Amino acid sequence: MKKCVFCTQPDIQKRVVAKNDLAFAFPTNIPITPGHTLIAPLRCAATFDELTDRELYALFALRKKIAVTLARVFGAEGFNFAWNEGEAAGQTIPHLHLHIVPRRRGDKGSLGYDPRKFLYRPGSREPSPERELQTIAEEIRKHLG
Per-residue pLDDT reduced to its tens digit, 59-96: 999 999 999 999 999 999 999 899 999 988 888 899 99
Q: What percent of the chain has pLDDT over 70?
A: 83
Task: Find the catalytic residue in 36, 97, 99, 143.
Answer: 97
Q: Which residues form the domain of 102?
A: 5-144
- The CATH number of whichever domain residue 84 belongs to comes to 3.30.428.10
Residues 48-53, mean pLDDT to the nearest whole number: 97
1, 63, 24, 87 alpha-carbon torsion, rounded to 10°: 0
Number of domains comprising the chain: 1
Assess whether 97 carries a catalytic annotation: yes
Say whether pLDDT at 102 is over 50: yes
pTM greater than the 0.85 cutoff: no
**Predicted pLDDT of residue 32:** 84
